[in-house]
Chain A
Amino acid sequence: MFEIKMNDSNEIILSGRFDSSQVVTANSVFEKITQSAVVDFKDLDYISSAGLSVLLVTQKRLNEKNQHLKLINLNKHIHDVFRYAGFDTIFLIE
């Protein structure tokens, strides 16, 4: 089960499993982002390269306007995925 929603502070909250079957759902939110935003991974259990690609495309689009995503509360396994893909150098992770 994957869920994506925005809270009152315009933070994007992810939960569940973010795999290739959830790309359309995720894009419905990420494609609407036009300025810097925080993405909270606190309740996200899993991410695959399909999820990374959604974030990459969003980050590239925002970067052209000097905006960016900030990723927070990644669990250890998901942090490893970002590190092994070299994504820890192209995202601000806290």
Chain B
Amino acid sequence: MKSKFKRDIQSLTDIFNFIEKFANSYQIDGSISFAINLAVDELFTNMVNYHTENPNDILISLTKQVDRIVVTLIDYEVEPYDINKSKEYDTTMPLEDRKPGGIGIHLVKKFVDEIDYTYQERNSKITLVKYLEKHHVRD
């Protein structure tokens, strides 16, 4: 399943419905669909916030394979941003030192099993893999 979504935070409801339809059609476990939802939400929100003037829609595709769900997000005509190189979020910081930034990418890394990033012809492509059997969290 794939669909393009308007670069707007208000698209999140349509994205949620898109993921829910996919999860229902393949009878995906609730823990898996929650993880996919969160990862796509965080990455889409970042794409919207980092390129507010960009007129292009963002493509999201969901594929069920034997043992995994593969999710891709493609952001067209943007500057590169490799989330695998993002700064680690320190989850042990005391309350007074905490800042909102960086939590979303940290959660994406925790909730999915593999993250791949490619940048070609000014298009950013993020591929996420969530295994169906292992409900574990990445170290």
Contact = CB atoms under 8 A, between A and B. Distances in A.
Interface of A: 17, 19-21, 46, 48-50, 52-53, 56-57, 59-60, 63, 77, 80-81, 84-86, 89-90
- 9 closest pairs, A vs B, by CB? A86-B91, A53-B100, A49-B104, A49-B103, A84-B110, A90-B95, A77-B34, A21-B9, A20-B45
A56 B37 CA distance: 22
B96 A49 contact: no
Highest count of chain B CB atoms <10 Å: which of A49, A50, A57: A49
Contacts, number: 66
Interface residues of B, number: 30
Nearest to B30: A77
A18 to B, nearest CB: 11
A89 B93 CA distance: 9
Contacts of A21: 9-10, 12-13
Nearest to A20: B45
A85 B45 contact: no
Nearest to B16: A17
B95 A86 contact: no
B90 to A, nearest CB: 8
Given A46-B34, A59-B95, 20 more contacts: A17-B16, A20-B9, A20-B41, A21-B9, A48-B41, A49-B107, A50-B45, A50-B104, A52-B103, A57-B100, A60-B96, A63-B95, A63-B96, A81-B107, A84-B107, A85-B91, A85-B106, A86-B90, A90-B94, A90-B95
A84 B137 contact: yes
A85 B95 contact: no
